[in-house]
Structure 1
Amino acid sequence: MADRCFRITVVAACPFPARRGTPIRVERLTEAFQDVGNDVELVTYHIGEADYSMAFPVHRVFGSLEPGTIAPGPTAAKLLRYDPAMVRLLKRRLRARPPQMIYAHHFEGLLVALAARGRRAIPIVYDAHTMLASELPTYQSGPLKSASSRLGAFLDRSLPSRADHVVTVTEDIRSALVERHGLDPDKVTVAMNGVEVEEFSPIVRDEVEPNTLVYTGTLSQYQGFSDLLTSFSVARDSCPQLRLKVYTNGNFDSLGRQAETLGVRGSIDVAPDTFEDLPGRLARGAVAVLPRSICDGIPQKLLNYMAAGIPVVAYRGSAKVLENETNGLVAENGDTNAFAQHILRLVNDPVNAEHLGANARGKVLGTMNWQAAARTCQGVFDRIVSS
């Protein structure tokens, strides 16, 4: 229990709950805020992948939950309909239950919080999951990429400074905000993601399926799955018995066509992604793959992979807490051949692969959990909320 407890309104402009990075951080961190004694409520979208009770009240735009999901990135529906509705809903909640602080996730959450707060003297903590200068171009192609990067850099420079404090998921984001955009270092704190320790601790890797690669999560362009297919094709030429198991709630049709062109579609299994099945699936996989090159934040799937003890191959941009040759193998961004060779090295040397996986598991389960992240945030709350 924290020495001081606070009334907190959490703002999350995203589908909730959902099995991808932002909604997972929202759910687990909000639960952890509640667990340490704070009085917490969440304002979010009406769309979510599942319907189950939460430990905290959830207020949705347009009322009740609509089953489904929303692709990552800006859309007309979000910017012109959902976000304005969130501003109206948040204004009502601020009147009905005046909080001591607003905790706003990602840029859209910050924009909603700023618009709804108006001139009220309520501190806003901005939870920065990424940098828009690098994220926005991943949703565009051609000349729009450059324009998106410039817009993202402008938003990175102008919006976070309007919050009373910024919590970042990685040191990379903190450094960018402080060194590149001039934020006061005392107003930027790192609180990394955690994992569900109780779910991953019981894992025993005694039924590993040889030559099986595992990928979990979304298939958005920025995830680099197209590069993974290229690497898988190269690796499979040397090891025809390789199989890639893809657990996702995304649409695999276009990537499936690429896989057919590469001649590997018959070696790929696709199934829905559910958290209940995740630990068992990772326990049975020989190697987990993380083909994302551009990532200011930290992929939740990386932490899940590491917590499960499955050996990991990743690109440097998303490796973060993965140390090459110590608790995984890291390829330079976009080097699909090196990625393929790392895969082959692990499947051909399962003893060393399991050693790397065990090291990764020890690192994550020993230090990275949502309670630790909440305690870090609690220190921020103590500083910015008046006694």
Structure 2
Amino acid sequence: MGLSILMVAACPFPSRRGTPLRVQRLAEALIRRGHRVEIATYAVAEVAEETGLVVRRAGRPEVRPMPPGPNWRKLLLDPRLARLIGRRLREGRFDLVHAHHVEGVFVSAAACRRHRLPLVYDAHTLVGTELPTFAPRLARPLSLLGGLVDRLACRLADGVLAVTPDIRDALVNRLGVAADRAVVAMNGVEIEIFRAADVEPEPATVFYSGTTAGYQDLDLLLRAFARARREATELRLVLSLSGDDSQLKALAGELGIADALTIVADSFARLPDRLARAAIVVLPRTHCDGIPQKLLNYMAAARPVVVSAGSAKIGRHGEELLVVPNGDVAAFAAAILRLHRDPALAERLGAAARRFVEARCSWEATAIGAEGLYARLLAPAADPAVTGG
């Protein structure tokens, strides 16, 4: 018999980036498996898209961008979301609450305790390591603050669904989460959407898709591309971006690559075609506790990938990816040149990458992982504490 799940998304929804996409695809997979899922989220959506899901909003719906990371505007939205969650738990019959990110846990915890419902914390990242990336000069205090936030979220939750083994291990070994209450459920990818289009890649085209947030390390990418282009002047860089690109344009001018740079507005609808036309795709982000969704998209599209070690959560160097040391501009440039000069290698890596995600990365598998944790928490003998103390 299916469960009734209130899924909490303390983020814009829907949106075509990491957290909102996991919320949407996991909810859809759980529904296909016979569960009832209702989503409680902010009033804000980043795209005007009908998802077909039951979505309850904390306020009048509006479509506008909301940048990832810390944002004081989110703090103003959280009390409304907490009230919505309390109201839905009073009005509806739910078996558990599945909350994404620490914000989702914080706005759900009080209502879950009042109604004696299990609270699942879907851990996409570790705040203690991600928060300093938004203000590197304050790295030490922000790391300490983020660590406290991580610990509190774990204490409030009854079970943790971790996006990667790295996150699960950190929560169990450093924060004391009970091992039997922490389950890994990696992201899936929309394989069919990225099935190879009937177009030929454009030679010498290097492609990136995503936000302009500082933690994406796009300055590293521009410096590496400038270095590679000194040896292969035919190289072109296409950036499909959401966010302010003014600093990137200024840096491109300083590096002398403005004439080789094309910036287009990020669009998920156009992403499969753009990936199909790319000769090489790149992911420069040097730190990511979770798994970048763009890496899965790149691999599903059978593109050869150059990726910083900190984002290479799946795949093997030289087998499905070319992995370079974090922050190594020269190595990143060399990897781009290697793929550019060896089309056979590029084709082999791309094909192997697609086979890898076809075999291992489905949203169905993510839902099955979640179901395993649900069963443990709803078992009659379940102890409500995730951590000791």
TM-score computed with the length of structure 2 as normaliser:
0.95
SS in 1 for 2:266: coil
Distance 1:205 1:357 in 2: 15
Does the 8 Å CA contact 2:7/2:97 hold for their aligned counterparts?
yes
Give aligned-pair identity as a percent: 46
Q: Give, as a single letter, the amino acid of the residue that structure 2 aligns with 1:229.
A: L
Distance 1:386 1:95 in 2: 23
Does the 8 Å CA contact 2:197/2:273 hold for their aligned counterparts?
no
73, 76, 81: which one aligns with 1:77: 73
Does the 8 Å CA contact 1:15/1:49 hold for their aligned counterparts?
yes
Specify the alignment match of 2:269 in structure 1.
Answer: 276
Q: Work out whether 1:106 is the aligned partner of 2:101.
A: yes
Distance 1:178 1:383 in 2: 17
Q: Work out whether 1:115 is the aligned partner of 2:115.
A: no
Specify the alignment match of 2:159 in structure 1.
Answer: 165
- Cα deviations by residue, 1:303-345 (Å, 9 ceiling, x for unpaired): 0000100000001000110211111100100001100000000
Specify the alignment match of 2:387 in structure 1.
Answer: none
- Cα deviations by residue, 1:70-89 (Å, 9 ceiling, x for unpaired): 1111222111x101111011
Q: Work out whether 1:217 is the aligned partner of 2:210.
A: yes
Specify the alignment match of 1:93 in structure 2.
Answer: 88
Q: Work out whether 1:25 is the aligned partner of 2:18.
A: no
Distance 1:349 1:291 in 2: 21
Does the 8 Å CA contact 2:315/2:356 hold for their aligned counterparts?
no
SS in 2 for 1:63: strand
Distance 1:86 1:249 in 2: 26
Moved more, 374-383 or 336-345: 374-383
Distance 1:119 1:42 in 2: 20
Distance 2:85 2:246 in 1: 38
For structure 2, list consecutive stretches of 5 or more residues without a partner in the other structure. Answer: 381-389
Moved more, 230-239 or 266-275: 266-275
2, 6, 9: which one aligns with 1:12: 9
For structure 1, list consecutive stretches of 5 or more residues without a partner in the other structure. Answer: none
Does the 8 Å CA contact 1:34/1:55 hold for their aligned counterparts?
no
41, 44, 58: which one aligns with 1:61: 58
Does the 8 Å CA contact 1:19/1:273 hold for their aligned counterparts?
no
Residues 205 and 328 (structure 1), Cα distance of their counterparts in 2 relative to 1, 3 Å cut = farther
Deviation at 1:137, TM superposition (A): 0.5
Specify the alignment match of 1:352 in structure 2.
Answer: 345
Specify the alignment match of 1:366 in structure 2.
Answer: 359
Deviation at 1:206, TM superposition (A): 5.0
Specify the alignment match of 2:41 in structure 1.
Answer: 44
Deviation at 1:50, TM superposition (A): 1.5
Runs of 4+ in 1 over 4 A off after TM superposition: none
Distance 2:152 2:46 in 1: 33
Deviation at 1:373, TM superposition (A): 0.6
SS in 2 for 1:62: strand
Q: Give, as a single letter, the amino acid of the residue that structure 2 aligns with 1:91.
A: G
SS in 1 for 2:34: coil
Q: Work out whether 1:265 is the aligned partner of 2:258.
A: yes
Deviation at 1:294, TM superposition (A): 0.7
Specify the alignment match of 1:130 in structure 2.
Answer: 125
Q: Where do residues 270-349 of structure 1 align in structure 2 (5 Å cutoff)?
A: 270-349=263-342
- Cα deviations by residue, 1:14-73 (Å, 9 ceiling, x for unpaired): 111112111111111111111111111101111112222223211111122x11121111
Distance 1:297 1:182 in 2: 19
Residues 386 and 180 (structure 1), Cα distance of their counterparts in 2 relative to 1, 3 Å cut = closer
SS in 1 for 2:226: helix
- Cα deviations by residue, 1:191-216 (Å, 9 ceiling, x for unpaired): 00011122123x15750111101101
Does the 8 Å CA contact 2:121/2:153 hold for their aligned counterparts?
no
Specify the alignment match of 1:180 in structure 2.
Answer: 174
Does the 8 Å CA contact 1:205/1:284 hold for their aligned counterparts?
no
Q: Give, as a single letter, the amino acid of the residue that structure 2 aligns with 1:237.
A: R
Distance 2:184 2:238 in 1: 33
Specify the alignment match of 2:244 in structure 1.
Answer: 251
Deviation at 1:255, TM superposition (A): 1.2
Q: Give, as a single letter, the amino acid of the residue that structure 2 aligns with 1:243.
A: R
Aligned residues: 380
Does the 8 Å CA contact 1:19/1:217 hold for their aligned counterparts?
no
Distance 1:206 1:82 in 2: 44
Distance 1:205 1:226 in 2: 33
Distance 1:334 1:267 in 2: 22
Deviation at 1:153, TM superposition (A): 1.3
SS in 1 for 2:40: strand
- Cα deviations by residue, 1:102-143 (Å, 9 ceiling, x for unpaired): 00000101111113334221001110000011110011142x
Does the 8 Å CA contact 1:9/1:43 hold for their aligned counterparts?
yes
